């Protein structure tokens, strides 16, 4: 049985990820970086925010383990880190196994038939 402290730590990680993805610009940035690595400037040209704002968002996402940067000459190339989503996917997996969720899913599928 996991220690309560471990569970609390995992839950804080999940809450942090919800906070990160609570900002729509970060969701769009993560989706674009998942398709192809980009620089902050490349991202800024496709978003309605400044390059400075993009860099600040990237710093938060990097601190959360969602993106990583590598140096390419004078440019920093950002890419997603799928393993950064692990606390969230694990949490969602734990909740999809709950009996009430299964009942709702079964009743939803029954109404579609």
Can you list the domains of the chain with their CATH numbers?
4-112 (1.10.10.10)
pLDDT in tens, 11-34: 899 999 999 999 999 999 999 999
Q: How many helices (H) and strands (E) does the chain have?
A: 6, 2
Is residue 113 predicted with pLDDT exceeding 90? Answer: no
The CA distance from 21 to 105, in Å, is 25
The CA distance from 12 to 98, in Å, is 21
Average pLDDT over residues 72-85: 93
User: What does the mean pLDDT of the chain come to?
Assistant: 86
Instruction: Assign 105 a pLDDT band (cuts: 50, 70, 90).
Output: low
What pLDDT is recorded for position 60?
Answer: 96
Is residue 1 predicted with pLDDT exceeding 60? Answer: no
Q: Which tokens belong to 39?
A: 């620089």
The CA distance from 71 to 53, in Å, is 20
> When comparing pLDDT for 2 and 49, which is higher?
49
Q: What is the pTM of this model?
A: 0.76
Instruction: Assign 111 a pLDDT band (cuts: 50, 70, 90).
Output: low
């Amino acid at each position: 049985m996991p220690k309560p402290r471990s569970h609390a730590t995992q839950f804080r990680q999940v809450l942090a990820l919800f906070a990160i993805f609570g900002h729509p610009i970060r969701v769009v940035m993560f989706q674009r970086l998942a398709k192809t690595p980009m620089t902050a400037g490349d991202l800024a040209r496709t978003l309605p925010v400044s390059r400075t704002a993009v860099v600040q968002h990237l710093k938060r996402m990097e601190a959360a383990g969602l993106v990583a940067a590598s140096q390419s000459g004078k440019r920093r190339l950002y890419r997603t880190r799928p393993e950064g989503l692990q606390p969230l996917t694990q949490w969602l997996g734990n909740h999809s196994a709950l009996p009430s969720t299964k009942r709702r899913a079964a009743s939803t599928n029954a109404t579609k038939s």
